[in-house]
Amino acid sequence: MIGSSRVLASALLAIGSLCVLACSPPVPEVPAGGADTDWLSYGNDPGGSRHARVGDLTPANVAGLEVAWTANTGDVCSGPDCRAGTAFEGTPILVDGTLYACTPFNNVVALDPATGEERWRYDHGLDTTQGYANQMVCRGVESWFDEAAPAGAACRHRILMGTLDAQLVALDGATGEPCADFGENGRVDLLEGVGAQKWQGEYSLTSPPAIAGDLAIVGSAVSDGQRIDAPSGVVRAYDVRTGAMRWAFDPAPPGVAPGGRTPGGWARSSPNVWAPMAVDAERDLVFLPTGNPTPDYASAWRQGLETYGSSVVALRASTGELVWHFQTVHQDLWDFDVPSQPTLFELEREGERIPALVQSTKMGMLFTLHRETGEPLFPVEERPVPQAVDPGLVVAPTQPFPVKPPPLVPHGLDPADAFGVLGFDSSACQESFESLHWEGIYTPPSLQGSIMYPGNAGGSNWGGVAVHPGRQIVVANVQDLAWMVRLLPPEQYAAERAANPGVEISPQEGSKFAMRRELLLSPLGLPCNPPPWGLLVAVDMQRGEILWSEKLGTVRDIAPVPIPWKLGVPNLGGPITTDGGLVFIGAAMDDYLRAFDLATGAELWKGRLPAGGQATPMTYRHGGRQYVVIAAGGHSRAGTTPGDAIVAFALPN
C-alpha cells in the first residue's frame, strides 16, 4: 500500500475534523434469534456480497458489543528474519461449525466459533526469510464438500489455499491433514509452466481460489515494475479431488507475446489476477478482476497485451472459455489494475431483477455491469484524457467514465489547495504540486514527474464493497491520496536507488524507462492533498446516487499523542453489511473495529483491537449469539500496529 504512511506524524495533532453526511430511508429491524448461520466463502457467498442474513445486532443494541474471545496465531515477524514483513489481511470462513483462517505464513488454523479454541493447525513451512514482493499475506481459504464421498471419509470436506510459495494446498477440513489424493500429498506446484522467477516470491498467490463445481480456479500476484519478461498471469482451474489441471486461460490474445512465452506456452508479463474472483454457479460463469501487464509504466512494448488488462473478464467456469470482457482502464499507465473481487447482486429496476455485477476501482469509480453480457447498467462515457508529453509512451485518447454512480473520491486537484498545518508546510506541498506535470486524472507519467490522483493505492483497494440486497445499497471504503510518478532513463536506475533508500524505485528491465513512485508528503509528514484521506461511502444502486459519506478513522494510533480526532485516514480492508441494518469495518489506520448505521452513516460503536485491523471482518450466529470476527495483525508496509490476533465480538451472554 503506502510505506510512506507511517510518517504521518505530530502535525496531525493540530487538525480538526469535518462531518459529511446524507441520509437514506431507515432500514427495518430484523427479529433477533433463529438458526445458526455460516460464512461459507471469502465474501460470504461465491458472488462476494459480504452481506450476512443475520439481524441479532441492530442500531439499537450494537453499542453493547464486547470482546467474546481472542485467538493468537503466533505468525507475525519483521526485520532481517522476515524481510517482507507481515500483513494479516485474512477473512475467516465458518463452515459446518468450524471457523477456518489462514495466517500471513500460509498456516491454517481451525477454531471453535464460540470460544476461539484451536481445534487443529496446519503448518505450511513457508520460508519467511524470502523477500516476497507483496509482503507475507494470505487473504483467505475456501471450502468444498465431496458429496459423492461417504460420511466420515478422509477429505470429504476440503479447505483450499493458495500460497506465497506458489502452491495450491488441499487440507482435510476435519483434521487439517493434507489430502493425499490431491497433487503430491496435498500440494500442486503452480510454478510449473509459468516461467522462472528471478527470486522466490516474484510469483505468488495472496487471495483464495474460486470454487466452481469441482474446480478450484487460481490467479496469481506477479511483482510489478520489474521486467518485460515476467512470469505469465495465466488463470488455471484444477480438479478439487485430484489436483489435475482442467483448463487454462491465457490473458493475452492468440499470437501476442512481446515478452516471449513461458514453458507452458503462455505469454509472459500478461495481466494477472491477484484479487479474489467471483462465481455465478447458475450461469456457469467466473469473473476475473485483472491487473495491467507488467511493467506498470512502460506501455510502448505492451501492445496487444493490454486487451484483457485492467478489466472484468467473464469465463465459462467449467471450460475457461471467454464469454465477455469489459475494460475499466485503457492502456493502463497508472497501476490502476482492478483490485477487488467483483460483487454480484440482483439489481431491482422497474419491477425487474437484473443479474448485475458491481466493480470497484482504484479510481474511486463503480462500474455496474450485466453479468450475462458485460453491458453497463448505467451509461459509461468515453471521455478525452491528457496525452503523453514524453516519447516512448502509448496513451489511449479516451477513458471510460460511468455516468452513475459519481466518483467516490475527488478527481480534481488544485495546487492552491495544497494542505499543511503551518504556512511553510502547505507552501512546500504547493511547490511540489507546481513542479510536477498535472492535467487531471489519467495524467501520464513523465520524466518531469507527474501527479497520480487518485493514486495506485485507491480509491478502492482489495477490500472491495459490500451490498445489502434488500436495501439495494453498496458500501465501499475509499482513500484519497496524491502520489508522484517519475520516469527515469534506465542508466539512472542504480544511482537513483542507491541515493534514495526506502523509496519505491523499479527497474522495468527491457523497457525504455525505470520508475520512481512515492506518496506526496509535506515536510511534517502529512499528505499534501487535503483531508479527509479515508471515507466510508454508501451508494443507492437503483438511482446510482451517493446516500452518505462518512470519515473513516482517527489519528488515535498514528499521532504521537493518542487523541482520537476523526480526520478520515488511509485504510486497507473492506466492509460487511447485515440484515440488522449495520455496516462493520476495520481497515483504518487506528486499531478499531467499527459499526455504522446503514441508513444514515452514523458511527454507532467501535471496539478496540490489539493490533491494526487491515482486514475485512465477517459475522455469523452460533449457539443463538451473533459474533463479529476480524483479523487484527496490522500491516507492515502501512506501519500499523503488528500482531497475530483473531478477535470475536458479541453481546454479553
Q: Contact 629/646 with Cβ under 8 angstroms?
A: yes
- Give the pLDDT band of residue 557 (cuts 50, 70, 90): confident
Q: Which amino acid does the sequence have at 567?
A: L
| Between 566 and 600, residue with greater pLDDT | 600
596, three cell numbers: 455504522
- Give the pLDDT band of residue 563 (cuts 50, 70, 90): confident
| Between 174 and 7, residue with greater pLDDT | 174
**H runs (alpha helix) in 12-81:** none
Told to judge if 335 belongs to the known catalytic residues of this protein, a careful annotator would answer yes
Of the residues 335, 337, 557, 597, which is catalytic?
335
Which residues is 514 bridged to in the sheet? 488
Buried-state track 338-370, b at ≥16 Cβ within 10 A, e below 16:
bbbbbbbbebeeeeeeebbbbbbbbbbbbbbbb
508, three cell numbers: 522495468
Report, as an integer, the average pLDDT of 210-221: 98
Report, as an integer, the average pLDDT of 267-278: 97
First to last CA, the chain: 39
Q: How far is CA 163 from the centre of its chain?
A: 16
CA distances from 515 to 301, 521, 620, 638 (A): 15, 18, 45, 21
- Give the pLDDT band of residue 98 (cuts 50, 70, 90): very high
3-class DSSP state of 376: strand
Q: Per residue in 4-40, pLDDT tens?
A: 343 343 333 333 332 322 333 343 444 456 899 999 9
The CA distance from 437 to 451, in Å, is: 6
Radius of gyration of the chain, Cα coordinates, nearest whole angstrom:
23
The CA distance from 520 to 622, in Å, is: 46
- What pLDDT is recorded for position 57? 98
Report, as an integer, the average pLDDT of 314-338: 97
At 466, phi and psi to the nearest 5? -120, 150
Query: Which letter does DSSP use for residue 455 in this model?
Result: B
Q: Contact 467/49 with Cβ under 8 angstroms?
A: yes
Torsion angle of alpha carbons 381, 382, 384, 390, nearest 10°? 140
At 105, phi and psi to the nearest 5? -90, 10
Which residues is 622 bridged to in the sheet? 625
Which residues is 222 bridged to in the sheet? 203
Report, as an integer, the average pLDDT of 341-354: 97
The CA distance from 650 to 622, in Å, is: 11
- What pLDDT is recorded for position 78? 66
- Give the pLDDT band of residue 291 (cuts 50, 70, 90): very high
Q: Which amino acid does the sequence have at 70?
A: T
Which residues is 121 bridged to in the sheet? 109
Q: How many CA atoms lie within 13 A of 79 on its CB side?
A: 4
Residue (of 639, 647, 650) closest to 86 by Cα position: 639
Q: Find out whether the peptide bond into 459 is cis, omega within 30 degrees of 0.
A: yes
Please give the full DSSP string across 510-523, using - where no structure is assigned.
Answer: TSS-EEEEEE-B-T
69, three cell numbers: 474471545
Residue (of 2, 11, 3, 1) closest to 429 by Cα position: 11
Point out the least confidently predicted range of 265-269, 344-348, 559-563, 579-583. 559-563
- Give the pLDDT band of residue 257 (cuts 50, 70, 90): very high
Q: What percent of the chain stands above pLDDT 90?
A: 83
- What pLDDT is recorded for position 15? 32
400, three cell numbers: 471510460
Residue 560 has pLDDT above 80, yes or no: no
3-class DSSP state of 300: helix
Report, as an integer, the average pLDDT of 213-231: 95
- Give the pLDDT band of residue 310 (cuts 50, 70, 90): very high
The CA distance from 297 to 512, in Å, is: 10
Largest CA distance in the chain: 73
**Angular region, 464: left φ>0, alpha ψ -120 to 50, beta rest:** left
Q: Contact 605/599 with Cβ under 8 angstroms?
A: no
Q: Contact 484/449 with Cβ under 8 angstroms?
A: yes
- What pLDDT is recorded for position 3? 39
- What pLDDT is recorded for position 84? 79
Please give the full DSSP string across 137-181, using - where no structure is assigned.
Answer: E----EEEE-TTSPTT-TTSEEEEEE-TTSEEEEEETTT--B-TT
Q: Per residue in 595-624, pLDDT tens?
A: 999 999 999 999 999 999 999 999 999 999
Q: How many CA atoms lie within 13 A of 564 on its CB side?
A: 8
Point out the least confidently predicted range of 90-99, 308-317, 372-381, 504-513. 504-513
- Give the pLDDT band of residue 653 (cuts 50, 70, 90): confident
Q: Contact 499/429 with Cβ under 8 angstroms?
A: no
- Give the pLDDT band of residue 404 (cuts 50, 70, 90): very high
- What pLDDT is recorded for position 51? 98
Q: How many CA atoms lie within 13 A of 626 on its CB side?
A: 23
Q: How far is CA 537 from the centre of its chain?
A: 16
**Residue matched to cell numbers 469489459:** 326
- Give the pLDDT band of residue 1 (cuts 50, 70, 90): very low
- Give the pLDDT band of residue 300 (cuts 50, 70, 90): confident
Q: Per residue in 232-253, pLDDT tens?
A: 999 999 999 999 999 999 999 9
- What pLDDT is recorded for position 28? 40
Residue (of 1, 62, 68, 55) closest to 28 by Cα position: 55
Burial of residue 495, with CB atoms counted within 10 A of its CB: 0-12 exposed, 13-18 middle, 19 or more buried: exposed
- What pLDDT is recorded for position 559? 65
Which residues is 485 bridged to in the sheet? 450, 517
- What pLDDT is recorded for position 33? 66
Residue 628 has pLDDT above 50, yes or no: yes
- What pLDDT is recorded for position 229? 94
Show the domains of the chain with their CATH numbers: 3-650 (2.140.10.10)
Count of Cβ atoms closer than 10 Å to residue 614 Cβ: 31
Which residues is 101 bridged to in the sheet? 109
| Between 131 and 450, residue with greater pLDDT | 450
- What pLDDT is recorded for position 23? 33
Buried-state track 289-316, b at ≥16 Cβ within 10 A, e below 16:
bbbbbbbbbbbebbebbbbbbbbbbbbb
At 417, phi and psi to the nearest 5? -90, 10
Strand 576-578 to 51-52 pairing:
parallel
Q: How many CA atoms lie within 13 A of 238 on its CB side?
A: 26
At 515, phi and psi to the nearest 5? -145, 140
Q: Per residue in 223-232, pLDDT tens?
A: 988 999 999 9
CA distances from 569 to 428, 564, 609 (A): 21, 12, 17
Q: What's the whole-number average pLDDT of the chain?
A: 92
Burial of residue 527, with CB atoms counted within 10 A of its CB: 0-12 exposed, 13-18 middle, 19 or more buried: buried
Q: Contact 172/153 with Cβ under 8 angstroms?
A: no
